[in-house]
């Protein structure tokens, strides 16, 4: 049984919302500028790598974006992802102060969600390093029926408003997908982006860049979203024969699944069969389970992923969200919304419920709901709080991220200018750039030398 | 995407501690009899209601204006 080691990364674009009733109108760009003032002061740029080896920047549309460092375990990934929420939230107080100084009195909210109130969408991108192969398009296409239907377990859930009224759907992202595979991202959003940027030795690796997923708040949802996808990839890499569930029309299917919370809607397969998302997910879960012990090394983590996957499918099949309503975002939110709706005696399209939905995704520990739900035991966690705290400043220690984190830390402390990206480390003015093509390596003699020279400078 | 950076660590040193706890709003008395182990669902129902009690006012205040003012260009 091969030791399964994979590099994972998550990129999150946050919704940026200035609530300042009565103030002059302020563009998202201006708010983002104030929010990132301390980042620019630290890194002379609004696009930086931090000491925890992750990347923080302002992306298209003035969205603050946080990309985790490369992680080789799901617990490191979740810790780094959650640390990112805290890192961006910590920019809020100064951003608000700077806006007040500019005459705008308001509150800044950062949402880890996927749509604004006008229906604009932004993403959460998952990265899985896979072995390069000649048939990448076929390989990636084989994952599409899984990605299209996994929203019934890992979707963030959302109230969808239509001219005919409102209903609850599995995924806010589903309506914004226009292609299966493509190298574009904003012009035509695909489910898998085929842009070939492995940030690693390109002869050996490719990046599976999944951009169809929802941003997820609850740690078990992230565990299942990335964990189940990783297990699928492991089977595919081992050339296990998967059930052929190729869909007849992917764009139609992803919408049909999203908008049917009963799980009863069927989608048409290329071979003419009609199956529900529940049946498709169950087929994949069954084949994954059948290979635990040969292709998949049995671990407690794998078991917990499979257990949650199973219960998530059952929750939809049996229409019993309480099976997962402390673990899966769509069910956690649905319970909150239904309870609040009952108290208010209002319709589902009431703005107070939309406000509740935003509060769920607000990353603030004070203004947001997620942290309150966790402290009340209403949402389960996967990693210790101390691990998240540590991940704010300390890079994952078992991948290349360790080298980058140590370099950023030492170079910052020395006061020297430097340049850094996913694969390069360089001191400004130095003749050599250190190129780190292997994301699995956390030790490198060249980096040691570089770090020694930096600490010598500091002593000297 | 290479970027320069210089001194200090403003972006991380200001980050305040987390892990706050929030009062549940559920008073209890020391001398009350040991409660029988209630079904987990009932307990979390109470917790959810008291949480909604806590946030009800802030959610109701200008909800429509608040929600409508969140508009941003799309991202990737």
> According to the 3-state scheme, what is the secondary structure of chain B?
CCEEECCCCHHHHCCCCCCCCCCCCCCCCCCCCCCCCCCHHHHHHHHHHHHHHHHHHHHHCCHHHHHHCCCCCCCC
Q: Does B9 touch chain A (CB under 8 A)?
A: yes
**Could you tell me which of A227, A117, A224, A230 has the C-alpha nearest to residue A172?**
A117
Instruction: Return the residue of B nearest to A118 by Cα.
Output: B71
Measured CA to CA in angstroms, residue B52 lies from A220, A349, A359 at distances of: 23, 18, 12
Which chain B residues touch A352 with a CB distance below 8 Å? Answer: 59-60, 63
Q: Which residues in A lie closer than 8 A to residue B46 (C-beta atoms)?
A: none
How many Å lie between the alpha carbon of B71 and the closest alpha carbon of chain A?
5
Confidence at B6, pLDDT banded by 50, 70, 90:
very low
Backbone phi and psi for residue A351, each to the nearest 5 degrees, phi listed first: -60, -25
Closest CB to A121: pick one of B66, B69, B74: B74
Judged by CB atoms within 8 Å, which residues 42-71 of B form the interface with A?
44, 47-49, 51-52, 54-56, 58-60, 62-71
Q: How much is the average pLDDT of A41-64?
A: 95
Query: What confidence tier does A12 reach under pLDDT thresholds 50, 70, 90?
Result: very high
How far is the alpha carbon of A447 from chain B, nearest alpha carbon, in Å? 18
Confidence of residue A456 (pLDDT cuts 50, 70, 90): confident
Is a pLDDT exceeding 60 seen at residue A3? no
Does B6 map to a domain? no
A13: nearest CA in chain B?
B75
- Domain carrying residue B53: 40-64
Position B54 in a domain: yes
Tell me which of A400 and B35 has the higher pLDDT.
A400
Cβ separation of A13 and B75 shorter than 8 Å?
Answer: yes
pLDDT tens sequence across A66-111: 999 999 999 999 999 999 999 999 999 999 999 999 999 999 999 9
Q: B4 pLDDT band (50/70/90 cuts)?
A: very low
Q: How many whole angstroms separate alpha carbon A393 and alpha carbon A83?
A: 9
Q: Which residue has the higher pLDDT, A35 or A186?
A: A35
> What is the average per-residue pLDDT within A125-152?
95
Q: What is the mean pLDDT of residues A240-262?
A: 96
pLDDT of residue A389 exceeding 50, the answer is: yes
CA distance A401 to A409: 12
β-bridge mates for residue B3, sequence order: A420
User: Is A329's pLDDT higher than 60?
Assistant: yes
Residues in chain A closer than 8 A to B68 (CB atoms):
117, 351
Q: Residue A302: is its pLDDT beyond 90?
A: yes
Strands A190-193, A205-210: pairing kind: antiparallel
| CATH no. of A8-391 | 3.30.590
Put simply, the answer to whether B47 touches A378 (Cβ < 8 Å) is yes
Q: Is the reported ipTM for this assembly greater than 0.90?
A: yes
Q: How confident is the model at residue A430 (pLDDT cuts 50, 70, 90)?
A: confident
Q: Is residue B60 part of a domain?
A: yes
Please check whether residue B26 lies inside any domain of the structure.
no
Who contacts A74 (Cβ-Cβ below 8 Å, separation ≥6)? A8, A223, A226, A227, A230, A301, A382
For chain A, give the secondary structure using H, E and C. CCCCCCCEEEEEECEEEEECCCCCCCCHHHHHHHHCHHHHHHHCCCEEECCCCCEEEEEHHHEEEEECCCECCHHHHHHHHHHHHHHHHCCHHHHHHHHHHCCCCCEEEEECCCECCCCCECCEEEEEEEECCCCHHHHHHCCHHHHHHCHHHHCCCEEEEECCEEEEECCCCHHHCCEEEECCCCCCCEEEECCCCCCCCCCCEEEEEECCCCCCCCHHHHHHHHHHHHHHHHHHHCCCCCCCCCECCHHHHHHHHHCCCCCCCEEEECCCCEEEHHHHHHHHHHHHHHCECCCECCCHHHHHHHHHHHHHHHHHHCCCHHHCCCCCHHHHHHHHHHHHHHHHCCCCCCHHHHHHHHHHHECCCCCCCHHHHHHCCCCCCCCCHHHHHHHHHCCCCCCCHHHHHHHHHHHHHHCCCEEECCCEEEECCCCCCEECCCCCCCCCHHHHHHHHHHHHHHHC
Asked whether the beta carbons of residue A412 and residue B24 sit closer than 8 angstroms, the reply is no
pLDDT per residue as tens digits for the range A173-232: 998 888 888 887 666 789 999 988 999 999 999 999 999 999 999 999 999 999 999 999
Mean per-residue pLDDT over chain A, rounded: 95
Query: 10 Å Cβ neighbour count for A187?
Result: 7
pLDDT given for residue A372 in this prediction: 95
Catalytic position from the list A59, A81, A175, A260: A59
Residue ranges, CATH 3.30.590, chain A:
8-391
Q: Average pLDDT, stretch A428-454? A: 94
User: Is pLDDT at A398 greater than 60 in this prediction?
Assistant: yes
CB contact under 8 A, B8 and A42: yes
Q: Which of B75, B51, B52, B70 is nearest to A354 (CA)?
A: B70
Per-residue pLDDT at B43 exceeds 90:
no
Distance CA A50, CA A69 (A): 9
- What is the C-alpha end-to-end distance of chain A, expressed in Å? 51
Q: Is A59 a catalytic residue?
A: yes
Residue B14 reports pLDDT greater than 60: no
Nearest to B52 among A51, A339, A351 (CB): A339
pLDDT at B16 over 70: no
Q: Residue B3: its pLDDT value, please?
A: 43
Joined tokens for residue A156: 């963030």
Tell me, what's the pLDDT at A147?
97
- The percent of residues above 90 in pLDDT, for chain A, comes to 90
The total number of structural domains that make up chain B:
1
pLDDT above 60 for B38: no
pLDDT confidence bin for B75, thresholds 50/70/90: confident
Which of B24, B62, B76 best probes binding to A when mutated, by most A CB atoms within 10 angstroms? Answer: B76
């Amino acid at each position: 049984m091969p030791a399964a080691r994979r590099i994972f990364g998550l990129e999150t674009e946050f919704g940026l919302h200035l609530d300042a009733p009565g103030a002059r109108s302020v563009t998202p760009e201006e708010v983002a500028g104030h929010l990132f003032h301390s980042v620019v002061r630290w890194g002379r740029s609004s696009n930086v790598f931090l000491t925890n080896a992750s990347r923080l920047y302002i992306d298209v549309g003035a969205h603050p974006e946080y990309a985790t460092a490369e992680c080789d375990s799901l617990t490191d990934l979740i810790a780094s992802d959650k640390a990112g929420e805290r890192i961006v939230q910590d920019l809020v107080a100064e951003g608000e102060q700077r806006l007040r100084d500019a005459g705008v009195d308001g509150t800044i909210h950062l949402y880890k969600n996927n749509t604004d109130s006008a229906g604009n969408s932004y993403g959460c991108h998952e990265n899985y390093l896979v072995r390069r192969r000649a048939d990448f398009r076929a390989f990636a296409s084989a994952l599409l029926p899984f990605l299209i239907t996994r929203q019934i377990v890992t979707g963030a859930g959302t109230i969808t408003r239509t001219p005919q009224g409102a209903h609850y759907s599995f995924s806010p992202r589903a309506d914004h997908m226009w292609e299966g595979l493509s190298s574009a991202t904003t012009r035509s959003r695909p489910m898998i982006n085929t842009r070939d940027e492995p940030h690693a030795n390109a002869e050996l690796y490719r990046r599976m860049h999944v951009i169809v997923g929802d941003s997820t708040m609850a740690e078990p949802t992230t565990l299942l979203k990335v964990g189940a996808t990783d297990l699928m990839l492991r089977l595919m890499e081992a050339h296990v024969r998967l059930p052929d569930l190729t869909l007849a029309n992917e764009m139609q299917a992803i919408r049909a699944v999203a908008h049917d919370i009963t799980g009863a809607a069927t989608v048409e397969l290329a071979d003419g069969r009609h199956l529900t998302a529940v049946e498709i997910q169950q087929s994949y879960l069954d084949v994954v389970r059948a290979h635990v012990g040969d292709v998949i090394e049995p671990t407690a983590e794998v078991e917990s992923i499979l257990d949650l996957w199973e219960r998530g499918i059952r929750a939809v099949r049996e229409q019993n969200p309480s099976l997962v309503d402390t673990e899966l975002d769509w069910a956690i939110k649905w319970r909150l919304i239904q309870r609040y709706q009952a108290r208010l005696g209002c319709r589902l399209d009431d703005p107070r419920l939309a406000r509740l939905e935003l509060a769920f995704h607000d990353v603030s520990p004070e203004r947001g709901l997620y942290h309150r739900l966790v402290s009340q035991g209403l949402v389960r966690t996967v990693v210790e709080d101390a691990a998240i705290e540590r991940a704010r400043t300390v890079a994952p220690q078992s991948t290349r991220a360790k080298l980058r984190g140590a370099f950023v830390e030492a170079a910052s402390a020395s006061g020297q200018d430097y340049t850094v990206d996913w694969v390069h480390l360089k001191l400004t003015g130095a003749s050599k750039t250190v190129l780190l093509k292997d994301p699995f390596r956390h030790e490198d003699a060249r980096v040691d030398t570089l770090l020694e020279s930096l600490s010598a400078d500091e002593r000297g | 995407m290479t970027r320069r950076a210089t001194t200090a660590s403003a972006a991380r040193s200001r980050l305040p501690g987390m892990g706050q706890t929030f009062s549940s709003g559920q008073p209890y008395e020391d001398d009350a009899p040991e409660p029988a182990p209630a079904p987990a669902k009932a307990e979390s129902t109470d917790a959810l209601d008291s949480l909604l009690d806590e946030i009800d006012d802030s959610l109701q205040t200008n909800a429509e204006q608040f929600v409508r003012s969140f508009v941003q260009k799309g991202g990737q």
